[in-house]
Amino acid sequence: MPPKCAGRKKLPVPLPPGYVLNDFQKKSWKLGKILGSGGCGLIYLAAPATERAVCDDAVHVIKVEYHENGPLFTELKFYQRVAKSEHIRDWMRNHQLSFLGIPTYWGTGLAKYKEKSYRFMVMDRLGQDLQNVLQQSGNRFSKAKVLKISIQMLDVLEFIHDNEYIHGDIKAANLLLGCTNDKEIYLADYGLAFRYQPNGTHKEYKEDPRRCHNGTIEFTSIDAHRGVAPSRRSDLEILGYCMLQWLCGTLPWEHNLKDPNAVQQAKIKFMNNLPTSVNECLPPGSECSEITSYLSYVNSLKYDERPEYQKIHNILLNRVRVNRPKALDPLHLPMQEYNKKVPDLCSLQNVVRTSPKEKSQKEVGLNAARETPSKQKPLQIKRASTTNKVECLPPTRITERKPKATMTVEDRSRETVQNEPRRAAEDIRGSGQKSRWDMLDGTAAHHYRLGQGWTKLVDRHSNSANVAHDKSKIKSSIYRYGATVLLLMILIGLVLLFL
């Protein structure tokens, strides 16, 4: 439903700095300066109420709207039902994620000022929105950046959808960077959030002329244009339009936004003419198979069908395997490749290369010295953006290790234990097992979906290492106890001899 205040375009009367608000948990919050406005409300810096004024580095904000406005009430219901901190942590743990872009909710309450009633909500402070970053980048992002932002948003949408809600208004203005970490991206503003599956029953497909063209006109879904209650495929379709605009700079229907019916027909024609319609939006010489495949999959979904989120991840990760991000670009979130057919070109320090001579020696059972990666030439890969080549850093030097002439049981067990992590990682890489990426802290965090195969692999290797280690301990104990007994017997013999 559109915001009730949209027609009036009236923001609340500003509250004075230092004004104290009390939430329903009886916690007091002091207002600082106004940071800006969002939807139908004002956003203030805030801090727990003390005698001191609110500093500019405060870590909380308060969103204030008139009590009768609908969007903030809808947003509060979403946070209270879905976005509790412990619930988010459990979901992240179950899905092997270290970060999820849902803002932290602290509390809510009601207040009165000059005979006006207000509703407020306390949240964590976030950084600038992605729309500002987009404008500073010339209204376009690189393909790698678009795909990585979309992967973060896909995790957020999966969490929301699993909890019976859709967002309904995904756009750059509602994506906020982290306040202290600009590699974290949060999906904010749940004023149009909709519970599509209350009590486990999906809403029926029903067109309602009174609800046509709901949402932000350039991004809203075809279902929303028809007045149909939004569903999971609606959120994914909106994200697809955002990806296309971030990559191309504009959408084919943006010149006619004052005519919602014309926009609706343009979107229907666009989705029916994939992949040609996407290719026509791109600059000459560019290609965008990932977004084309993504939109084709979304277009094939039924109204009440649950999307295969892992499949969508794989579609979007396809391009990330080829394009390496710039290390110093704060929005180029580093991601490492995974594919058994295309190894990670910039992580070859984990791979030991051998010459043909060494391979022949291996075949006859001889130990050969390994060639160090420092002798290899730096690798280069192509990227489809404005730069022609990206040089990968040379692999880390591996110390050459000469074979030992003799090796005890204890040495052999120690070497087995030390090599277990590398061998397990190589087995996983060669098995083609599915993986999930998150872009939390600027490092490539690779989360494997643990299954029986991984558990058995680790148990098998760890058990063999433990057995060898236990045998060596038993043998050394026997030798030590035998020597002790022999020494005692010699001492007893000497005593008896002197007596």
Q: What is the DSSP string of 143-171?
A: HHHHHHHHHHHHHHHHHHHHTTEE-----
Cβ atoms of residues 63 and 46 within 8 Å: no
Please tell me the chain's helix, strand, coil percentages from 3-state DSSP, rounded to the nearest 5. Answer: 40, 15, 45
Report angle CA 399, 402, 405 to the nearest 5 degrees: 155
CB atoms within 10 A of CB 292: 20
Q: What is the DSSP string of 348-392?
A: GGGS-B--HHHHHHHHTT---PPBPGGGSPPPEEE-SSSSSEEEP
Residue 349 is encoded by which pair of tokens? 């320090």
CA dist., res. 107 & res. 23, Å (int): 6
To the query of whether residue 56 is one of the catalytic residues in this protein, the response is no
Cβ atoms of residues 225 and 264 within 8 Å: yes
Cβ atoms of residues 312 and 250 within 8 Å: no
CA dist., res. 416 & res. 470, Å (int): 13
Q: What is the DSSP string of 473-496?
A: HHHHHHHHHHHHHHHHHHHHHHHH
Residues with Cβ within 8 Å of 32's Cβ and at least 6 positions away in sequence, in order, are 17, 44, 45, 46, 47, 53, 54, 55, 56, 58
DSSP, collapsed to helix, strand or coil, labels residue 33 as strand
**Which entry of 169, 189, 344, 438 is annotated as an active-site residue?**
169
CA dist., res. 240 & res. 230, Å (int): 15
Length of the chain: 499
Nearest to 158 by CA among 95, 205, 203, 86: 95
Kindly list the distances between the CA atom of residue 174 and the CA atoms of 35, 167, 168, 304, in Å, as whole numbers in the listed order.
15, 11, 11, 26
Residue 27 is encoded by which pair of tokens? 């916690």
Work out the angle between the directed axes of helices 452-498 and 409-431 (0-180°, nearest 10).
180
Torsion, Cα of 481, 482, 487, 492 (10° steps): 100
Give the catalytic positions in this structure. 169
